[in-house]
Structure 1
Amino acid sequence: MRKVLVLGGTQYFGKKLVQKLIENGDEVTVATRGTKSDPFGDHVKRLVIDREKKESMSAAFEGKAWDLVYDQSCFSPIEAKDTSEALEGKAGRYIFTSTQAVYDFGTLHTESNFNANTYPVEYKSRREYPGYEGYKEAKRASEAVFHQLGIFEVVSVRFPIVVSEDDYTERLKFHVDKILSGQPIGIPNPELRYSFIHADEAADFLLGIGNSKFMGPINPGSAGDISLGELVDKIALLSNKKASVVNSTESGTVSPYALPGSWSIDTSLATGLGFKFIELDQLLEQLILFYIKQNDSN
């Protein structure tokens, strides 16, 4: 039986990952701030840590060891460094949940388009990385710390936009609800393109890559990308409604996907390793139809 430590794991696809690890027969320890309940009962062990306080991690991890670590909750290079030092000698393999945001704005990025091994690190706390630009830099620097320290066998999983029927962010649902209600959607640039992955497949991928010997960065997700304009057209077609798109950034109207540029990834490395993902059109259509049906029943 493997011993697996999950840093985070009580929200969204991190919670799905923990459940899959339990079903896989692993001995799972979940380390969080202890402020949220979880559904795992006595199927997991629990540790209380504060990622912003190294001493809390050092104390929690004292005298323990794991075969594998999943990090769902690192948001600064200081946290990456402190966690690595607190776990040095206590774990060998480390799966870091990163993001396609480590790439510059653009489409169909391959893993080589950001090199964490050479990226210069400036040590800051998570509170010093505001907004989207801050998020990008925090994840870039965190990846760089894990890879450059060389303490673990590191995998950086660069997820695209994660969606599902139970997506708590409701960003895709936002577009469906606006179109169904005849309200305008603010999209300054309908040509921007994005990649997606289903939350269940995100958890499946984390489980699978943890079982592999792969090291380095990797992009999982449905192949290809879609523009915001194409996404709106798809919703309008499936709902038999007319979409109203306006050039606006007004709060409450602007699309939560209306970022400063495109972000999409090439997932051929992951599929080449045997990982399978639902086709992008099928993924989006099933979710749009789910939200339409949900809206009709309310």
Structure 2
Amino acid sequence: MRRVLVLGGTQYFGKKLVQKLIEIGDEVTIATRGSKSDHFGANVKRLVIDREKKETMAAAFEDKEWDLVYDQSCFSPIEAKDTAEALKGKVRRYIFTSTQAVYEFGTLHEEANFDPYTYQVTYKSRKEYPGYEGYKEAKRASEAVFHQLGYFDVVSVRFPIVVSEDDYTERLKFHVDKILADQPIGIPNPELRYSFIHADEAAHFLLGIGNSTFEGPINPGSAGDISLRELVDKIALLANKEAVVENSNTSGTVSPYALPGSWSIDTSLAEGLGYKFTDLNHMLDQLIKYYMQ
């Protein structure tokens, strides 16, 4: 039986990952601020930590060891360094949930397009990383800390946009609801392109990569990408409606996917390692139909 520590694990695909770990018989510990309830009952152990307070992690991890750590809740290089120091010598393998946002705006990025081993880190707290540009810098610097310190075998999983029937952000559902209601959607640049992954497949990938010997950055997700125009047209076709798209940033109407630029990834490395993902158009079609109902 492996001993697995999950930092976070009480929200979205983190919950799905914990459930999968329980089902395969791992001894699972979740470490959170303790502010959210979970449904795992006696199937997990629990630790209370604050990622912004190093002393809480040092106390919680004292005299403990794990075979594997999944980090779902790191949002600054200070947190990365403090966590790594607190877990030094206690862990062999570390899976960090990162993002396609570590890349510059653009499409079909390969893993080599951002190198965490050479990135120069400026240490700031999570409050000092506002907006999408801040999120990009925070995740870049966090990746760099884990890989450059070399305390564990590290994997940085660069997820694209995560979607599912139970997506709490409701960003894809936003578009479906607007089109069904004949309401306008603000999309200043309809040609921007994005990659996606289903939340169930995100959790399954984390489980698999944790069981592997792979080290380094990796892009999981459905192959290819889709533009906002193509996505809206797809919804309109399935709903038998006309989409009303405006060049607008008005609050309440602007698409939550109307980011400053395209972000999409090349998933061929993950596919080459044998990981399977649902076809992008099929996945989106199924989710759109679900939201329509």
Q: Distance in 1 between matches of 2:81 and 2:260?
A: 30
Residue identity over aligned pairs, in percent, reads: 83
Q: Distance in 1 between matches of 2:118 and 2:63?
A: 33
Pairwise mapping of residues 1-298 of structure 1 onto structure 2 (< 5 A)?
Answer: 1-293=1-293
> Which runs of no fewer than 5 residues in structure 1 stay unpaired?
294-298
Q: Distance in 2 between matches of 1:52 and 1:152?
A: 21
* Aligned-residue RMSD, C-alpha: 0.3
Deviation at 1:39, TM superposition (A): 0.5
Q: Distance in 2 between matches of 1:160 and 1:203?
A: 13
Name the counterpart of 1:296.
none
Deviation at 1:86, TM superposition (A): 0.1
Which of structure 1's runs of 4+ aligned residues deviate more than 2 A? none
> Which runs of no fewer than 5 residues in structure 2 stay unpaired?
none
| SS of equivalent to 1:92 | strand
Calculate the TM-score normalised by the size of structure 1: 0.98
How many residue pairs get aligned? The number is: 293
Q: Distance in 1 between matches of 2:12 and 2:196?
A: 15
Deviation at 1:251, TM superposition (A): 0.6
Deviation at 1:49, TM superposition (A): 0.2
| SS of equivalent to 1:255 | coil
Q: Distance in 2 between matches of 1:108 and 1:283?
A: 19
Q: Distance in 1 between matches of 2:274 and 2:139?
A: 26
